[in-house]
Amino acid sequence: MLVRSQPGAPAQPWPAPFEATPCVACRSAPVHKDDSVNRFARGIACCILGVSALLTACEGDRPESLIASAKAYIAKNDYKAASIQLKTALQKEPSSSEARFLLGSVLLDAGDATSAIVELRKAIALNHPRAQVIPVLARAMLLKGQLQPLATEFAATDFGDGAATADLKTSLALAYARRGKGKESQAALESALLSSRRCVPPPPPPVLAVCRPVSRPRQATSTARWPC
């Protein structure tokens, strides 16, 4: 179409309408400039792609997804990556007892008993199953050297769960042995063996001294090197 700006002036072509650069999804579809239906369909396709990408990103940021990711890292012994995922989950949901428990366990496995104790006690305060938390907490206290508090707090604890009770009583036996209390160590060990036919977890060589009758205190005391 030709237009004249002033009488007698040469005709000029009408300016072409402005067209935005289409997105990748739009460019992949057939382009018909005069087909408004196709343009509308391409716009809808772009919106669907954008919403789908946004929903996928949001799903990965949910605490449940972060915890699942942390468990996968734990299975690979990648405690640093697991810790990052769990801390992110706790930023989004501070009341997650599972995330607190897993973070405490990861910190203990990484050798940070002090931080592990803090997180495990928070997990207990959030009502995470005590049979899961306390045996791990006992190991952290043993590693930290909190021998008297460990005995005072958990000497009478029994979960009714063979593995959990045996785990806890084994830590108590080691704590008593380190303090030179052979009689108490033997009693805790017998309780552990009564709950399970073996020490839980399976004992490394230093624990074998505790698995014998505590008739020689020096031999029993050497088991203090086992932090579990």
Rounded (5°) CA angle 149-153-157: 145
- Per-residue pLDDT, 128: 98
In the three-class reduction of DSSP (H, G, I as helix; E, B as strand; rest coil), residue 12 is classed as strand
pLDDT at 155: 95
Nearest to 113 by CA among 84, 143, 133, 86: 143
171 lies in some domain: yes
Give the per-residue pLDDT at 26: 52
pLDDT of residue 15: 54
Q: Domain boundary residue among 108, 128, 148?
A: 128
Residue 212 lies in a domain: yes
Q: How far apart are CA 82 and CA 44, in angstroms?
A: 39
pLDDT tens across the length of the chain (228 residues): 555 555 555 555 555 554 555 555 555 555 555 555 565 556 665 555 554 444 444 455 899 999 999 999 999 999 999 999 999 999 999 999 999 999 999 999 999 999 999 999 999 999 999 999 999 999 999 999 999 999 999 999 999 878 999 999 999 999 999 999 999 999 999 999 988 764 445 544 444 444 444 434 333 333 333 333
Domain coverage including residue 108: 60-128
In a domain, residue 18? The reply is no
pLDDT of 195 reads: 85
- Identify whether 137 is part of a domain: yes
Q: Is residue 153 located within the same domain as residue 227? A: yes
Q: Are residues 114 and 147 in the same domain?
A: no
Q: Is the dihedral of CA 212, 218, 224, 225 positive or negative?
A: negative
Final residue before a domain boundary, out of 109, 128, 147: 128
Q: Number of structural domains, the chain?
A: 2
**Statement to judge: residues 224 and 195 lie in one domain:** yes
Indicate if 186 and 205 belong to the same structural domain. Answer: yes
Q: Which residues, in sequence order, are CB contacts of 91 under 8 Å at separation 6+?
A: none
